[in-house]
Amino acid sequence: MNFIPKDHTVHLCVDMQRLFAENTEWQTPWAYKILPQVLALTERASEQTIFTRFIPAENPGQGHGMWKEYYEYWNCMTLEKLDKGLVELIPELMKFVPPAEVIDKPVYGPWVATDLHQRLQKRGINTLVVSGGEIDMCVLATVLGAVDFGYRVIVASDALCSSDDKCYDFIMNLLKRRFSIQIEVEETEKILSNWH
């Protein structure tokens, strides 16, 4: 693994929210299992960390195109039916904000309807260390969007979660085999030892 330059790197932590960590229809049991690794990455460079939060639609049936049908199906997960505090980050991560930043997004990836790419470009960021959940949903959309924008992408394999073990294994294998030139897959300890 090549050197990771701290000044040009952001830790992009995807959707480590109460919405997915606690007892909801979208609970991801691994969220707390990977939390120590997410914390280690955040502690290394909290001022270089950006947390994304997935914000559901306000009402059932709200949204553009197929998102309307999505929220008709998942009407129990709309903001009008949820405890709005569930969209917040897992409490252990909240203490890092600020200096860490938070970007809210209405879809899986953070590249649509946000200014994330512009923020990163303004800061001279060319490398992203990605953690969070779920690897087969929002993390996948985040990583593929980052590849399209030309970022160096490093996924922290032990700081990523899914609610489906087989999907986790499949996506991890996909990233390693099909995107090996554009995506690096490493464990947190190795990332930290190369991030100066």
Report whether pLDDT(4) > 90.
no
Cβ distance 41 to 49 under 8 Å? yes
Give the pLDDT confidence score for residue 196 in this predicted structure: 79
Cβ distance 48 to 8 under 8 Å? no
**Residue 108 lies inside a defined structural domain of this protein:** yes
**Residue 12 lies inside a defined structural domain of this protein:** yes
The total of structural domains in the chain comes to 1
Report whether pLDDT(1) > 80.
no
**Residue 118 lies inside a defined structural domain of this protein:** yes
Please state, in angstroms and as integers, the Cα–Cα distance from residue 106 to each residue in 56, 81, 112, 114, 194, following that order: 6, 17, 8, 9, 33
Cβ distance 70 to 18 under 8 Å? no
pLDDT tier, 25 (very low <50, low <70, confident <90, very high otherwise): very high
Q: Which domain holds residue 155?
A: 6-56+86-194
CATH at 140: 3.40.50.850
- Across the chain, mean pLDDT equals 95
**Residue 70 lies inside a defined structural domain of this protein:** no
DSSP symbol at 90: P
Report whether pLDDT(64) > 90.
no
Give the pLDDT confidence score for residue 2 in this predicted structure: 86
Average pLDDT of the segment spanning 38-61:
95
Contacts of 162-165 with C-beta under 8 Å, sequence gap 24+, read 162/28, 162/30, 162/133, 162/134, 162/135, 162/136, 162/137, 163/26, 163/27, 163/28, 163/29, 163/30, 163/134, 164/136
**Residue 67 lies inside a defined structural domain of this protein:** no
Amino acid at 95: K
pLDDT tier, 176 (very low <50, low <70, confident <90, very high otherwise): very high
Give the pLDDT confidence score for residue 119 in this predicted structure: 96
Give the pLDDT confidence score for residue 6 in this predicted structure: 84
Average pLDDT of the segment spanning 110-135:
96
